Amino acid sequence: MNRTLHAAAGLAGITALLLAGCATQPAGETSTEDVTITYSNFISNGGNEENLAAIVEAFEAENPGITVEVTTLPYADYGTALQTDLAAGTVADVFDIEYANYAAYQANGVLAPLEVSTPDAYRPSLLEAYSTDGASYALPSSFSTVVMFYNADLFDAAGLEYPSAGWTWDDERAAAEALTDEAAGVWGDHQPVSFYEYYKVLAQNGEQFLADDGTSVAFNTPGGIEAAEWLVGKSGTVMPTIEQGQGTPDFDTNLFLEGKLGMLHTGIWMFGAFADVPFAWDIAVEPGNTDQASAVFSNAVGVSAASENVEAATKWAEFLTSSQTMVDIRLDAGWELPPVADEQALATYLEKDKPANRQAVFDSLDGVALPPVVAVGQTEMQDIIGEELVEAQAGRKTVEEALASAEERINALLAG
Amino acid sequence: MSILTPPAILPDATAAAAPRPVRPARRAGRSRAARIRYSLTVLAFLLPSAIPLGLFVLGPMIAAAWISLHDWNLIAPMRFVGVDNFAQLLADPATGEVFLHTVGYIVGYLPLVYIGGLLLALALNQSLRGRTLWRGIYFLPVVTSWIVVAIVWRWLLNPSTGIVNTALAAVGVDGPGWWTDPAWAMPSIVIASAWKDLGFVMVILLAGLQSINPDLYDAARVDGAGAWRRLVSITLPMLSPSTFFVVVISLINGFQVFDQVYAMTGGGPGGASQVVVQQIYDLTFRYGAAGEASALSWMLFAVILAVTVAQIIGQKRWVHYA
Amino acid sequence: MPENRVLASRPARVVRPARVALHLVVVVGALAMLFPFAWTVITSITPGAGLTLRPSLWPQDPSLEAYATLFAGRPFARVVLNSAGLAIATTVIQLVTSATAAYAFSRLPFRGRGVVFAIYLATMMVPLQVLIVPLFAELRAFGLLNTYLGALLPSFASAFGIFLLRQAMGQVPRELDEAATLDGAGHGRIFFSIMLPNIRPALATLTIFAFMGSWNSFLWPLVVLRDPELQTLPIALAGLQGQYTTAWDVVMAGSVISILPMLALYLLAQKHVIQGVANSGIK
């Protein structure tokens, strides 16, 4: 009995190993005239499935002989599934990636270099973000920016001027303090304490996260400490503390929806959710301290280096990211912003109301803070800085201690 | 104990394990054919479970052991590094911390959920009006997803606006920071977990209670045993196989606690509630260190196995089989 | 002295303070248990609860909009059927594999039985998170990715179920099988006609947990079933939460849909737990 069990176990184990070992191995065989390519995505998840289907349909009509098979996964679990596929060599021909993971995938040879037929169609900064040594390894599929939302009624009630392009941190701080009325449960400002905010406020203060050679951090400077204090110091003065609920899902947007938040730093994806609120609101480019810098989040698609149909896959990737069909469908559905260079194509977006100042979305692109990216340890680096900043926010560490600790931990991580 | 006179057909469960009947396998002078037939019978009963467990659980477990000897980010080819991953884990203070947090969870969770589940099972084993309905209600949290449960418990345990601290304040107690405070994050998870799993323990123990022969109680009543006496002399000993099951399973699951931590605190604040399996998940899918993750899971395996084997050996002292 | 009364009046019908207290505790406890579920239901019928993730027990303008959204534009019925089919298959298969193995561990002594049982238990001791990748590679080799069978195979047998039933069999008096052996019954007959009827409460319990395990399982179906046609309920529900925003009313409607069948199954199985004893033949 024992022996049978061991034999069975051993056999299965060895089989599994052999397979797990060969990481990137081409899957299946095809390639006559008609090809089927697979596309694994999360971007359409949560309401845009039909919009993606419409883009696929238009592509297939334009490219007879190519069929696109779409698999949609929940955003939160997409990474787990993609990693499993990469490990087992079953990755789709075309798949979604996020900017933060681009460097690691590129460095590990997962992505095929792409021959982009119309590079001019893309917003240059976005295309550039997914290039390495002059070659494109992924194509941006959409972008969103983070801006400052404000409740105009609260500003009026306090007799304050609305935020405008020339604002700096000092203006924001003064307004936030004037707006905060703890007795009425009204708070002046809300900005998450996280990695994604920190690299941006560093840029707003003329600092950078990583040293130029990318092998150590550069944020533990007087300017970097000032930036961290700007983030963390809001908590308990003009922004609720963690104990009061800050940091729980949707806490900030709820507060804004209830008309109890003066200013909110969040992404333009919230336009739809705020469309029907019973008070006046608008947006402005985020104030900087020494520089103007805004966060841009972009998704992209890559073509698998192991794909048997790189050409057809590239065609689909380009269509998905730059075709007029895609632009029309995205703008019509309010499904983030297309990554195209031609601002004329985005005219309909600017014409829409709520918020009125949609121009701020494009103005924010004049100064973009890109996240620091490393090929090994990206996620862990993000986790560490987030954790240390929250320690400072909760008052368990001083800002100086938190940044010193983060510096030490991340440098150790980057040293390998 | 002498006051109990159970019917003859049932062995006295309260006495030390009665001598077993002679085991067929040890019976001398059995023919070769009979032995082969017996072996085939054993195989027939075992293979339906042995084959799938061997192929789809033990196999991957052994593969994981192999991976633990490699440096592997799931993407690039594997690189053999021997026991480096184990050495690195042992040298890393974070490893001890995650084990400590996990053990802390178990120490808080197990007594709460067992005693609570036992009281619940005893209460709902009484003749109550609408008993089935009550049982259903107490089972609801078991089937509710952790996403929902975590939202509700974070709200109940909100340090400044939560019902719990509001109630504590009303009786003059300054409530703790619960999940926002490193010292109270794990207790918060323990409370929510015990609350959610009470119904699970209740169901197992109810099935165990239902299997106890009512005649035993009648006999005990005749002998004048009170409620407490009946509980200690009949119910608990007769229930011990179910209790053993609950304890072993709770420990195995407790060492692998993950969902509730992920949903309630995400391991925070400041890593104060980071547990072993969350570390394993992060290493595998987020930090690109699948080899290290496999090594850590084999360390976890060794700990769970040791604890379980100790329980199996120890059960002879207190578990009474019929 | 109540102890001296004869067994006639077993469950005391007299109103005693202890019984009143018992009822009170059970009812108050039940309210605490009911609360999250009640909140789930209420959020699901609060349109545009979109973002108000604040537990509220008063729905504003209740409507079933979220349920309509759930079933519109998604093959939701198909998803529910997939989950139900897989859960039923898992349950039936696990009942068979668990009962047979438990019988061997309880009633068929053989050399090394303790070690084999320990190996069985050991299969519960490594977290799924590290097994996913090798398991996925293995099923790929068998050509079983994107198949129902591939989703089912890893849960064909469950150490949990085997252990549960072994413990239940341990409570069945050995005198019963010995009497049957004297009557000439073999292990097959003892298994079917003595063991199974006597462990009905445990079988009902395993039915609940096996079904629940499959119905809620997430990680494995996520990676093995990619075809939208094969998707299961938990994956579809996770898909309701977007990259940046979540429609909570729809998520909660999905939760309600996922809770109800299990609650129904539990109530059904409960009856068997009770009847099981009445008919069990323990006398």
Confidence at residue C34, expressed as pLDDT on a 0 to 100 scale: 87
C interface mutation test: which of A43, A145, A250 has the most C CBs within 10 A?
A250
**Which ranges in A151-240 belong to alpha helices (H)?**
152-157, 169-179, 195-204, 222-232
* Mutation target among A77, A248, A257 for the C interface, most CBs of C within 10 A: A77
User: Is C50 near chain A, with CB under 8 Å?
Assistant: yes
Cβ of A12 and B180 within 8 Å? no
Judge whether residue B161 has pLDDT over 80.
no
Residues of C in Cβ contact (< 8 Å) with B24: 109
Residues forming a β-bridge with A302: A95
Residues 6+ apart with CB under 8 A from A25: A89, A306
C147 touches chain A (CB under 8 A): no
Quote the CA–CA distance of A325 and A335 in Å, as a whole number: 13
Within 10 A of C65 (CB to CB), how many other CB atoms are there? 17
Q: What is the pLDDT of residues A377-388, one digit of tens each?
A: 899 999 999 999
Residues of A in contact with C246 (CB under 8 A): 46, 249-250
Query: Does C283 contact chain B (CB < 8 Å)?
Result: yes
DSSP secondary structure string, B179-202?
A: GGSHHHHHHHHHHHHHHHHHHHHH
Residues 183-212 of C with CB under 8 A from A: none
d(CA C134, nearest CA chain A) in Å: 5
CA B120 to chain centre: 18
User: Which one, of B160, B184, B188, lies nearest residue B174 by Cα?
Assistant: B160
For chain A, list the contacting chains (3+ Cβ pairs, <8 Å).
B, C
pLDDT for A11 beyond 80: no
B105 or B130: which carries more pLDDT confidence?
B105
**Same domain? A123 vs A167:** no
Phi, psi of A278 (to 5 degrees): -85, 25
**Selection from C273, C269, C94 nearest residue C168 by Cα:** C273
In a domain, A23, yes or no: no
| Chain-chain contact of C140 with A88 (C-beta, under 8 angstroms) | yes
Distance from the Cα of B135 to chain C's closest Cα (Å) equals 8
Q: For residues A125 and A81, give the distance between their C-alpha atoms in angstroms, rounded to a whole number.
A: 29
Task: Please report the DSSP string for A337-389 in residue order.
Answer: B--BS-GGGGHHHHH--SSS-THHHHHGGGSEEPPP--SSSHHHHHHHHHHHH
Chain A contact for C138, CB < 8 A? Answer: yes
Q: Which residues of A391-415 are buried (b: 16+ CB within 10 A; e: fewer)?
A: bbbbeebebeebbebbbebbeebbe
User: Is the pLDDT confidence value at B17 over 60?
Assistant: no
Tell me whether C53 touches chain A (CB under 8 Å): yes
User: In CATH terms, is domain B24-30+68-317 a member of 3.40.50.1220?
Assistant: no
Total number of domains constituting chain A: 2
Chain C residues with CB inside 8 Å of B300's CB? 125-127
* Domain ranges for chain B: 24-30+68-317
DSSP string across C184-221: T--HHHIIIIIIHHHTHHHHHHHHHHHHHHHHH--HHH
Residues of chain B in contact with residue A13, where contact means CB-CB under 8 angstroms, are: 58-63, 66
**Chain C residues in contact with A49 (beta carbon < 8 A):** 73-74
Distance CA A62, CA B150 (A): 48
Q: Does C147 touch chain B (CB under 8 A)?
A: no
Neighboring chain B residues of A21 at a CB cutoff of 8 Å: 77-78
Asked if C37 is an interface residue toward chain B (Cβ–Cβ < 8 A), one would say yes
Report in angstroms the alpha-carbon separations of A212 from A291, A374, A386, C219. Answer: 19, 12, 22, 40
Contact yes or no for C140 and A90 at CB 8 A: yes
Task: List chain A residues with CB under 8 Å of B75.
Answer: 23-24, 83, 86-87, 104-105, 108, 110
Domain boundary among A317, A339, A359: A359
**Together in a domain, A319 and A407:** no
- Based on the fold, state whether residues A242 and A388 are members of the same structural domain: yes
Residues C158-193 as b or e (16 or more Cβ within 10 Å = b): bbbbbbbbbbbbbbbbbebbeebeeeebebeebbee
Judge if A287 and A235 occupy the same domain.
yes
For chain B, list the strands marked E by DSSP: 70-71, 79-80
Distances (CA, A) of B11 to B4, B20, B205, C4: 12, 11, 21, 25
Nearest CA in chain A to C49: A254
Q: How many CB pairs under 8 A join A and B?
A: 122
Name the residue with tokens 């039940």: C30
Q: What is the share, in percent, of chain B residues with pLDDT greater than 90?
A: 53
The answer to whether C154 contacts chain A (CB < 8 Å) is no
- Check pLDDT > 60 for residue A15: no
Question: What does the pLDDT look like over A175-214, one tens digit per residue?
Answer: 999 999 988 889 999 999 999 999 999 999 999 999 998 8
**Domain for residue A323, yes or no?**
yes
The pLDDT assigned to C57 comes to 61
Q: Are residues A218 and A330 in the same domain?
A: no
- Both structure tokens of B18: 């009665």
- CATH at A230: 3.40.190.10
- Here the ipTM equals 0.84
Inter-chain CB proximity C245 and A273 less than 8 Å: yes
Residues A180 and A291 in one domain: yes
Tokens coding C10:
């077993």
pLDDT tens profile A247-289: 777 788 888 988 999 999 999 988 888 888 899 999 999 999 9
pTM of the model: 0.85
The distance of C54 to chain A (nearest Cα, Å) reads 9
Contact (CB<8Å) A267/C136: no
Domain boundary among A341, A359, A377: A359
Q: Does C133 touch chain B if contact means CB atoms closer than 8 Å?
A: yes
Cα–Cα distance, A75 to C244 (Å, whole number): 9
- Which B positions 194-213 lie with beta carbon below 8 A of chain C? 195, 198-199, 203-204, 206-208, 210-211, 213
Residues of A with Cβ-Cβ distance to C223 under 8 angstroms: 80-81, 84-85
CB-CB: which of B75, B78, B285 is closest to A110? Answer: B75
Least confident of A158-162, B32-36, C252-256: C252-256
The verdict on A265 and A317 lying in the same domain is no
Contact partners, residue B230, CB within 8 Å, separation at least 6: B217, B220, B221
Asked if residue A242 lies in contact with residue A392, where contact means CB atoms within 8 angstroms, the answer is no
Calculate how close chain A gets to B231, using CA atoms only, in Å.
41
Q: Are B161 and B130 in contact (CB under 8 A)?
A: no
Same domain, yes or no: A165 and A286: yes
Which chain B residues contact residue A110 at CB under 8 A? 75
Q: Which residue in this structure is represented by tokens 């499935």? A: A49
Residue of C nearest to B284 (CA): C130
pLDDT mean for each 10 residues of chain C (283 residues)? 40 66 86 84 74 57 82 81 96 97 96 93 92 93 93 95 93 90 92 92 92 92 89 86 74 87 88 53 34
Rounded to whole angstroms, the Cα distance separating B25 from B38 reads 8
Check if the beta carbon of residue A338 is closer than 8 Å to that of residue A118.
Answer: no
What pLDDT does residue A309 have? Answer: 94
How large is the average pLDDT for residues A107-126?
Answer: 92
Which positions in chain B touch A17 (Cβ < 8 Å)? 62-63, 66-67
* Tokens encoding A223: 């300017």
pLDDT band at A31 (very low <50, low <70, confident <90, very high): very low
Is C74–A49 a contact, with Cβ atoms under 8 angstroms apart? yes
Closest-CA residue of chain C to A42: C243
| Range of the structural domain that residue A388 is part of | 145-295+368-415
Which one-letter amino acid corresponds to residue A3? R
Our CA-based measurement puts residue A185 at a distance from the nearest CA of chain C, in whole angstroms, of 16
Which residue, A339, A359, A379, sits at the end of a domain?
Answer: A359
Residue A337 lies in a domain: yes
**CA-to-CA dists, residue A81 to A111, B194, B290, C86, angstroms:** 17, 31, 14, 21
Distance CA A307, CA A90 (A): 10
**One domain, residues A279 and A377:** yes
Domains of chain C in start order, with CATH, are 12-64 (no CATH), 75-239 (1.10.3720.10)
Could A74 and C239 be called an inter-chain contact, meaning their C-beta atoms sit closer than 8 Å?
A: yes
Q: What is the pLDDT of residues A67-86, one digit of tens each?
A: 999 999 988 889 999 999 99
* A329/A217 same-domain check: no
Q: Are residues A153 and A163 in the same domain?
A: yes
The reply to whether B171 touches chain C by the CB within 8 Å rule is no
pLDDT at residue C48 in the model: 63
Query: Would the pLDDT of A404 be above 80?
Result: yes
Q: Which of C40, A348, C240, A377 is nearest to B282 (CA)?
A: A377
Query: Is the domain of A377 the same as that of A301?
Result: no
% of chain B surpassing 70 pLDDT: 90
* Residue A191 lies inside a defined structural domain of this protein: yes
CB contact under 8 A, C259 and B143: yes
Predicted confidence at residue A166, as pLDDT, reads 86
How far is A189 from A184, CA to CA, in rounded Å?
Answer: 15
Distance CA A45, CA A65 (A): 27
Tell me the average pLDDT across A28-34. 54
C134–B63 C-beta distance less than 8 A? yes
Q: Is C54 on the interface with B (CB under 8 A)?
A: yes
C202 inside 8 A of chain B by CB: yes
Give the span between the Cα atoms of C107 and B75, in whole angstroms.
Answer: 48
Predicted confidence band of residue B4 (pLDDT cuts 50, 70, 90):
very low
- What is the pLDDT at residue B36? 93
- Tell me the pLDDT tens digit for each residue of B269-306: 888 999 999 999 999 988 989 999 999 999 999 999 99
pLDDT of residue C109: 95
Say whether A16 and C242 touch across the interface (CB within 8 A).
no
Distance (Å, whole) CA B168 – CA C233: 40
Q: Provide, rounded to the nearest whole percent, the portion of chain A with pLDDT above 70.
A: 92
